[in-house]
């Protein structure tokens, strides 16, 4: 073990929430280290290529996309829009979202870390920690066969999986049943340039094939990623008909099923549907998308009622109008909408561990029930919780009152 590196604030995970957290902590003038096991930044946004940022805009049937998310998320989206050359899209239900390019997302994350002098450790896996009854004292990481130990002031878990709470044996919020995983892939050489027509053709042809028993029932869980049809290429998301268990071998099995699904689907489309006649698989996203993982138990657990009743909190640090999206293994997505033009808030307490004074969480592993995280996990929200967690962790490392910091976040961001 190589001794010892110090970080005032250590951020675990380089996804949307981790980038936001690291930037905020660095803005507070602290030494910040970000640990990421992948060789690139972006988390699910780039590894699973989910393709659009949701949770940035108001839920509204108006055509114009109006921001509901806080200032950092808005600035992030505006930069990404320029780098990607995209604009917000909306659907008739009133949902607005921003398509982006994968490489533009990676570049923006990298630029932000450089600009704020965050020390990044890519290809680096956090595997253990030491703690007292009330504090995480240090964490150990492994990079290319070498181990290092970081002593820390405070730490933010943006692993998407409550990993620090798992390693510290702290109380976790688990699900009895996890949402369906999905795989994104890209087809090239399509003979259709209108995305909505392509989506309709795909849906109609798959329904017909299922009815005629040429394809299995689960081929109805196939979706075009909005805004992805360019240069005769399109990205498609398939819902995987296999349970997500979070057991180590589960990920391999999901990946195997995804590849079989893609090849069967593509083969059928090429043979039977004229717009796909010349198509072939250009690319398969490196990672299967796991929607929900384990979550750290915080000082408050966000609930389904908070979401659906659009509850506001005195320590609310994120505004959210995204619906509860439930993706199951055996059916298409079920969506429960909020009241139009309204929103709920996420209290700062959802980002604070209920046992460790210097442990914070952000993104898809904040303290929330199954139904609540099914709304709060989208990236526009991860950017907001990440940014707030960064300031809160900085306040904890500096020993300044958290209540003042939360007040400042609310004034500046919302």
Ligand X SMILES: Cc1cc2nc3c(=O)[nH]c(=O)nc-3n(C[C@H](O)[C@H](O)[C@H](O)COP(=O)(O)OP(=O)(O)OC[C@H]3O[C@@H](n4cnc5c(N)ncnc54)[C@H](O)[C@@H]3O)c2cc1C
The residue ranges that bind ligand X (CB under 6 A) are 12-18, 35-38, 43-45, 48, 50-55, 125-126, 158-160, 163, 182, 289-291, 363-364, 377-379, 382
195-211 vs 248-272: helix crossing angle, rounded to 10: 100
Beta bridge partners of 184: 237
Closest CB 39 distance from ligand X, rounded Å:
10
Closest CB 181 distance from ligand X, rounded Å:
7
Closest CB 206 distance from ligand X, rounded Å:
18
Nearer to ligand X, 89 or 281 (CB): 89
CA–CA distance, 294 with 315 (Å, rounded to integer) = 24
Nearer to ligand X, 228 or 273 (CB): 228
Nearer to ligand X, 187 or 374 (CB): 374
Helix (H) or strand (E) holding 131: strand 124-131
Give residue for tokens 């709060």.
376
Closest CB 155 distance from ligand X, rounded Å:
12
CA–CA distance, 100 with 351 (Å, rounded to integer) = 27
DSSP secondary structure, 91-117, as one string:
-TTS-EEEE--HHHHHHHHHHHHHHTT
Nearer to ligand X, 273 or 387 (CB): 387
Nearer to ligand X, 33 or 382 (CB): 382
Nearer to ligand X, 31 or 143 (CB): 143
Helix (H) or strand (E) holding 80: helix 71-84
Closest CB 353 distance from ligand X, rounded Å:
16
Q: Taking a C-beta distance cutoff of 8 angstroms, is the pair 250, 244 a contact?
A: yes
Q: What is the dihedral of CA 272, 274, 276, 280, to 10 degrees?
A: 80
Q: Taking a C-beta distance cutoff of 8 angstroms, is the pair 32, 393 a contact?
A: no
Alpha carbon 226 to its chain centroid, in Å, reads 17
Nearer to ligand X, 26 or 163 (CB): 163
Q: Taking a C-beta distance cutoff of 8 angstroms, is the pair 13, 36 a contact?
A: yes
Nearer to ligand X, 38 or 84 (CB): 38
CA–CA distance, 91 with 93 (Å, rounded to integer) = 5
Alpha carbon 46 to its chain centroid, in Å, reads 10
Closest CB 17 distance from ligand X, rounded Å:
3
Closest CB 171 distance from ligand X, rounded Å:
19
Closest CB 200 distance from ligand X, rounded Å:
20
């Amino acid at each position: 073990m190589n001794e010892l590196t110090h970080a005032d604030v250590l951020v675990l995970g380089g996804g949307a929430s981790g980038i936001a957290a690291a930037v905020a902590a660095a803005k507070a003038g602290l030494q910040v280290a970000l640990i990421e096991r992948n060789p690139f930044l972006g988390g699910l946004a780039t590894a699973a290529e989910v393709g659009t940022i949701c949770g940035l805009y108001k839920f509204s049937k108006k055509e114009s996309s109006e921001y509901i998310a806080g200032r950092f998320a808005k600035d992030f989206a505006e930069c990404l829009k320029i780098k990607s050359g995209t604009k917000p899209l909306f659907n008739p239900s009133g949902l607005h979202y921003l398509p982006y390019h994968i490489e533009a997302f990676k570049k923006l994350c990298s630029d932000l870390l450089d600009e704020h002098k965050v020390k990044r450790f890519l290809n680096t896996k956090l595997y253990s920690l030491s703690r007292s009854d009330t504090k995480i004292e240090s964490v150990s990481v492994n990079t290319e066969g070498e181990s290092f130990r970081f002593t820390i002031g405070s730490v933010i878990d943006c692993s998407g999986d409550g990993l620090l709470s798992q390693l510290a044996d702290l109380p976790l919020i688990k699900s009895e049943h996890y949402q369906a995983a999905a795989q994104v892939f890209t087809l090239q050489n399509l003979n259709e340039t209108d995305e909505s027509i392509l989506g309709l053709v795909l849906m109609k042809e798959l329904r017909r094939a299922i009815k005629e028993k040429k394809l299995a029932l689960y081929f109805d869980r196939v979706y075009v990623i909005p805004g992805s049809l360019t240069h005769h290429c399109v990205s498609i998301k398939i819902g995987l008909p296999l349970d997500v268990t979070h057991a180590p071998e589960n990920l391999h099995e999901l990946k195997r099923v995804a590849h079989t699904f893609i090849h069967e689907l593509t083969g059928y489309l090429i043979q039977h549907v004229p717009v796909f006649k010349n198509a072939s698989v250009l690319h398969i996203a490196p990672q299967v998308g796991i929607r929900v993982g384990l979550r750290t138990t915080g000082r408050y657990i966000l609930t389904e009622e908070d979401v659906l009743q659009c509850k506001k909190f005195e320590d609310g640090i994120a505004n959210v109008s995204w619906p509860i999206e439930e993706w199951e293994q055996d059916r298409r997505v079920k969506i429960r909408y909020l009241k139009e033009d309204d929103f709920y808030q996420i209290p700062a307490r959802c980002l604070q561990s209920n046992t460790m004074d210097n442990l914070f969480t952000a993104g898809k592993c904040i303290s929330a029930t199954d139904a609540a995280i099914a709304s709060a996990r989208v990236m526009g929200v991860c950017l907001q919780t990440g940014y707030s967690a960064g300031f809160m962790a900085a306040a904890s490392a500096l020993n300044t009152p958290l209540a003042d910091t939360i007040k400042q976040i609310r004034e500046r961001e919302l």
